[in-house]
């Protein structure tokens, strides 16, 4: 399983899509969204009993390789220059992070770092409290 080759975030996008009823946080290697990226998505509605029964009562993480994981982030650390995300073993396998941790340098202005911080807080605290990571700097 390869370790992702991207190590710098230059783009942060956040927003609500009311048609699909989701909130999305996206981080990407390149300004046009190409290259390495992670997308974290949550519903705009509270989780349902059916979501809980299927394990979909939490955030969803998607990567540029097509990996999809519900929950699975154990720890997130953010400052003005770096984002560190530690995954569970299952999530690391699904998202091709063979050491279980992504350390990404941030090439972002202050507004983008604030959007990233707010987006992480909003997405990763959605739903099942057992799936919520520990936070440092958020």
**Residue 43 CB partners (closer than 8 Å, separation 6+):** 21, 22, 23, 51, 126
Residue 84: its pLDDT value, please? 95
Express the helix, strand and coil content of the chain in percent, nearest 5 each: 20, 35, 40
Beta strand spans in 44-113 (E)? 60-63, 68-70, 73-78, 82-87, 101-106
Using DSSP's 3-state secondary structure scheme, residue 50 falls into helix
Per-residue pLDDT 10s for the chain (138 aa) are 344 567 899 999 999 999 999 999 999 998 887 788 999 999 999 999 999 999 999 999 999 889 999 999 999 999 999 999 999 999 999 988 878 999 999 999 999 999 999 999 999 999 999 999 999 887
Residue with tokens 């720890």: 75
| pTM attached to this predicted model | 0.90
């Amino acid at each position: 399983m390869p370790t992702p080759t991207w190590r710098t975030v230059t783009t942060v996008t956040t927003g609500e899509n009311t048609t699909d009823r989701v909130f999305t946080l996206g981080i990407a290697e390149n300004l046009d969204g190409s290259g390495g990226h992670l997308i974290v998505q949550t519903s705009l509605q509270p989780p349902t009993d059916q979501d809980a029964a299927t394990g979909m009562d939490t955030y969803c993480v998607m990567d540029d390789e097509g990996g999809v994981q519900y929950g699975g982030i154990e720890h997130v650390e953010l400052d003005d220059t770096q984002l560190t995300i530690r995954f569970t073993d299952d999530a690391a396998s699904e998202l091709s992070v063979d050491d279980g941790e992504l350390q990404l340098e941030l090439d972002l202005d202050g507004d983008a770092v604030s959007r990233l911080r707010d987006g992480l807080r909003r997405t990763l605290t959605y739903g099942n409290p057992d799936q919520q990571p520990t936070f440092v700097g958020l």
